[in-house]
Amino acid sequence: MTATASTLPWTVAGQMAGRVGCQLDLTDPARGLTVPGGDRLLGLDLRTPSGDPRLADHWVRDRDLVGIYEPADPRRLRATAMWRSWEAAEAAWELIVSAQTSLVESDAAMAVRCDLAAGDLLGGRLAGGRVDWSLLPSVFPPHGIDCLFVRRAADAVLVAVHPADRRRLVPHRDGERLRLECWLFSSLIEKGVLLRSRVLAAIGPAAETAWADVLVGRFAASPPPLTT
């Protein structure tokens, strides 16, 4: 069987990881995957103004790159980030985020961020197995968006939160850049509870959304991850 970009494993040198089409500094999870053209996808912002979270451990398992982050603030929130390359597409990745705390109760809010070259922004709602797309205003979008599609001149970027997960998608335009925030875990977390959520990002043709529809459908139908 011939290896393709989607099946080649991650390589890790020190705390830098890479594979065909992207690279990641494991000590800076908020920066996420850097891809050709300067886009940054699936960064995990752990909201730690008192200091960067400590990378406690990391490893590669098949298509998964895993980082364990110890808390650096009073929330005592321990996070596991698993960046997974998709076999279904050459330029598609999933970030599976898990969180737990050693406190009796803590705030679990965190965000998955993407920083992109700006373009036309479409919001999608998944209904009846298909995605209904609509052009979004340049300001705050309506609630209930399951995915975002950023159409540029040369390509397009898809970002989607799994529809079974509680989420809030918020875009921010800053000149020629667009920042997408996927806020996760809106409720408090108790000791002994494990929260988990999934976000998908992919790059594809700008001319049509059919490829994005297929990926969102596969993402929505994928079984929940049982382990990290």
Q: Where do the domains of the chain lie?
A: 11-221
Least confident of 36-40, 187-191, 209-213, 223-227: 223-227
Residue of 226 and 212 predicted with greater confidence: 212
**Separation of alpha carbons 37 and 155, rounded Å:** 11
Of the spans 43-52, 56-65, 86-95, which averages the highest pLDDT? 56-65
Which pLDDT belongs to residue 103? 77
**Separation of alpha carbons 156 and 212, rounded Å:** 9
Residues near 5 by Cβ (< 8 Å), separated by ≥ 6? 19, 20, 21, 90, 91
Arch. (CATH architecture) of 11-221: Distorted Sandwich (2.70)
